[in-house]
Structure 1
Amino acid sequence: MTSSSPLYSTPNPSSPSELYCPLLQTMISNNLTNKDKGVNLAVVSIHGVVSALGILENGLVLWVLGFRLRRKTVAAVWVLNLALSDFLTTLTLPLFTHYLSMNHSWELGGPLCAAQASIFYLNMFVSAFLLAVISVDRCLLVAKPVWTQNYRNVSAAWKICGLGWAWAAVNAFPYFMFRSVVEKRDRRKLCYHNFALYSSSDTLHTDCKVRQAATAVSKVLLAFVVPLVIIAVSYTIIVLNLRARRKRLESRRLGASNGKLKSSKSFCSLSSLGKQNTTRLSQSFMKMVVSVIATFILCWVPYHIFCLLEVTAQYKLVEVFLPIVTTFTFLNPVLNPIIYTFSCPNFSTRIRQSLEALFEGLVEEAGPLVRVTERIRKNSLFPTSPSSPSVSRIQRGSQGSINQSQRGGKER
């Protein structure tokens, strides 16, 4: 029995009654493949190296942060969850490498096809979520230090990560439901979205369009555009706050020049030190921002572009280039450990000590920004509000010292 619309029927002899959407039907009919064995061998070899490297890197990060780190911090929770997501993805890389080695034919069965796709999309959503959360966390540390001191803790970080995993699982569920293995005309097997599943011939045309467009647009918006906007806004706020602090330092330094000479020299030296540290901090932050955002964009922009091309019915372009751009996305979990590790202060010194010390430096809460801020506060370059708890404690301590001195004078 065939469909009333030939456009949505399949010529596959193994399942003549099954219906397919236009994209999948075109991919089944086409026999496009690279006949150059040398190129194919090089691609498979690169994927094999990337697979091994990604598994070792992320496994090492998980081992150090999960079992060797003496003190868990909020930053450690972020990196640990990001490494877990990347580790799961790199575990599926050998499956994709096997697919390439079999001349672009999926010979591993339907369950592994659905599992590989589900983990891939789970990582896509979780990574975007965690990068956005890390950016907001860094932003709050700079813009709202008092608020973060009161509400930022490891327990809250784990709850946010749990919410992110649940949110990613909900978004990845449709890809698990519609993933299947179909046989092409040339007997090769294709692991791809089959949006005609759970549909009938009467509603197939609408179902194919709606499901394909909904999944493509949701991927682009929820796993790329929205997180990228959050990242950009967060680091813009960080840069603006750092610039504002430098301006306040300069104005206070100029104002102090009218005071006493001794006080002025001391204040200017402290101000110069604070300005130097803040400038160095701003530069290191900008390097990390550029690295994270550039990697995020380079790895995922090509993939999302071709996902949108699927909706516009550019079938041949999608079939030829989608495996290539998917390879770029697999580089993201491999590069993430390198980026975050080299963002550690004094990397060259710490790596000579031990891996444990290295990752402690990576996720320590008293990082350069906190140390510079505390140093500036102690030197009264950024006086806090009289109503703040720290000022109240200082005032109470000072008053207690004065009272104690007065009592000592009376006793004498």
Structure 2
Amino acid sequence: RRRGGGKGRQPGSPGLWVSPLFSSQGRRNWLAMAAVEAAFPPANLTPVNQSGCDVHNHQVSAKVTFSLFYTALLVLGACGNILALCITFQRRKKKLNSTDLYLVNLALSDALFTLALPGRIAYYVLEFNWPFGDWFCRATAFVFYMNTYVGIYFMTCVSVDRYIAVVRSRHPGRLRRMSRARAVCVLIWFLVFLQTAPLLLRPMTRRMGDRLTCMEYFNFEEVPKLPYLLLAACVLGFFLPVGIILVCYVRINLKLCQTAKENPLTVKNGHHRRAFTVILVVLLAVLLCFSPYHLNIVQFMVRKILYQPSCREQQAFKMSLQVTVAFMNLNCCIDPIIYFFAFRGYKRRLLRIFRNSGSMATSSTRHGPSFSLRPALLSLTAPLPPLLLPS
């Protein structure tokens, strides 16, 4: 009666459906079916995360907004940072000092970052659909986050360098040697490379319906201890550098107040005032560009640790993440403003180029298309005036 099938195997009996699942052959078939379904999801799958929540419900508005934003960012960021590099390297009569070196690395990082923007523009134009494959997505993520933390660290170096020049002005040369500045630059690039290299070692894309998403937070939810890892990254990559910049800002301000009390004539000292202005601009740039993103990450990770956020909270986080990442990437356009305040030579050279370009345009309208490029070339090859920052 066991071979012929007992009561548990009669048609309509629950045993008919339960017993194959618990048999060895049934388990193999069930696991095989699960593997096939995981590898080839149904065609009508909607773009949802693991909890079944549609986090891409704002894709239509994001298509227009972020496509235009990153296009403008590409043009302004590339032009501003390439121009800064050209002007800096045209200085023939004066060697680079430590501040120059940090700013050159900052401009180089921003210029390299603009190479990753065309892919992001295409991603938003196609409504969160990545057309370039997983490896290019990994490279884009690597460049994105490497630029972020290289920028924060070099801004911190500029602030510390200004602090040494003003507060530790008795013996600044030993601490600001070019050999040490070069070693600091190499160390920063190496450490940030180690921090962001894991992005190259894991898939950055995820299939969601008929779309292939790239660099989305919800693609990484299966990473163990993800909230704790991101909180630690925020502390080391943002809050610690911002604390250092704030300390430098406060100490320079106190030094200026103390010096003004001891000798009122030193209030007009341009060196100290410009150092204070540079750190103030750096602090404002860091707070404006990077604090919204990191505060957003911190608040959501704390929620993830305490409880499972609702679908509405996840959708709000997804949208706010797009906005705060856009603010974070805005730093590649704001960094040239730091160069403008840091160097009188940069400011004069920039104004001279625009002035010569305007005169060339006027000459071309008066005398036809045949005009000389000599004035603009002379403006680029002429030596820069000395820096106003103390070196």
1:333-344 to 2 correspondences below 5 Å? 333-344=332-343
Report the AA paired with residue 242 of structure 1: L
1:287-366 to 2 correspondences below 5 Å? 287-311=277-301, 312-313=303-304, 314=309, 315-345=314-344, 349-353=348-352, 360=384
Report the AA paired with residue 170 of structure 2: V
Report the AA paired with residue 350 of structure 2: I
Deviations 1:263-302 (A, max 9, x none): xxxxxxxxxxx33423x55554444333221221111122
More deviation in 70-79 or 342-351? 342-351
Deviations 1:8-33 (A, max 9, x none): x99756269xxxxxx95248855523
Partner of 2:215: 192
- 1:117 equivalent in alignment to 2:141: yes
Give the CA deviation at 1:117: 0.7
Partner of 2:252: 238
Partner of 1:367: 388
1:162-241 to 2 correspondences below 5 Å? 162-185=186-209, 187-192=210-215, 208-210=223-225, 212-241=226-255
Report the AA paired with residue 25 of structure 1: Q
Partner of 1:35: 60
Give the CA deviation at 1:160: 0.7
Deviations 1:347-389 (A, max 9, x none): 764534457599955xx5x52557xxxxxxxxxxxxxxxxxxx
Could you tell me how far apart the structure 1 residues matched to 2:191 and 2:217 are?
Answer: 23
Could you tell me how far apart the structure 1 residues matched to 2:318 and 2:97 are?
Answer: 44
Report the AA paired with residue 60 of structure 1: L
Unaligned runs of 5+ in 2: 1-27, 43-47, 354-378
Counterpart among 125, 132, 147 of residue 108 in structure 1: 132
Q: CA, structure 1 residues 352+297, in 2 after alignment: closer, same or farther (shift >3 Å)? A: closer
Counterpart among 70, 83, 89 of residue 60 in structure 1: 83
Give the CA deviation at 1:147: 2.2
Is this contact kept in 1: 2:98–2:177, CA < 8 A?
Answer: yes
Give the CA deviation at 1:89: 1.4
Could you tell me how far apart the structure 1 residues matched to 2:64 and 2:382 are?
Answer: 37
Unaligned runs of 5+ in 1: 17-22, 198-204, 251-273, 371-412
* Identity across the alignment (%): 22
Q: CA, structure 1 residues 196+235, in 2 after alignment: closer, same or farther (shift >3 Å)? A: closer
Report the AA paired with residue 208 of structure 1: V
Name the SS of the counterpart of 2:58 in structure 1.
coil
Please give the root-mean-square deviation of Cα atoms over the aligned residues, in Å.
3.5
Report the AA paired with residue 227 of structure 2: A
Give the CA deviation at 1:103: 0.8
Q: CA, structure 1 residues 245+31, in 2 after alignment: closer, same or farther (shift >3 Å)? A: closer
Q: State the aligned residue count.
A: 322
Could you tell me how far apart the structure 1 residues matched to 2:383 and 2:247 are?
Answer: 27
Partner of 1:383: none
Q: What TM-score does the superposition give when structure 1 sets the normalisation length?
A: 0.68
Deviations 1:221-267 (A, max 9, x none): 122100101001012111112222222215xxxxxxxxxxxxxxxxx
Could you tell me how far apart the structure 1 residues matched to 2:162 and 2:332 are?
Answer: 21
Could you tell me how far apart the structure 2 residues matched to 1:93 and 1:145 are?
Answer: 42
Give the CA deviation at 1:149: 2.1
Partner of 2:171: 147
Is this contact kept in 1: 2:260–2:267, CA < 8 A?
Answer: no
Could you tell me how far apart the structure 1 residues matched to 2:204 and 2:36 are?
Answer: 15
Partner of 1:262: none
Give the CA deviation at 1:81: 0.5
Could you tell me how far apart the structure 2 residues matched to 1:10 and 1:249 are?
Answer: 80
Could you tell me how far apart the structure 1 residues matched to 2:238 and 2:342 are?
Answer: 23
Could you tell me how far apart the structure 1 residues matched to 2:29 and 2:329 are?
Answer: 39
Report the AA paired with residue 86 of structure 2: W
Name the SS of the counterpart of 2:344 in structure 1.
coil
Partner of 1:48: 71
Partner of 2:40: 14
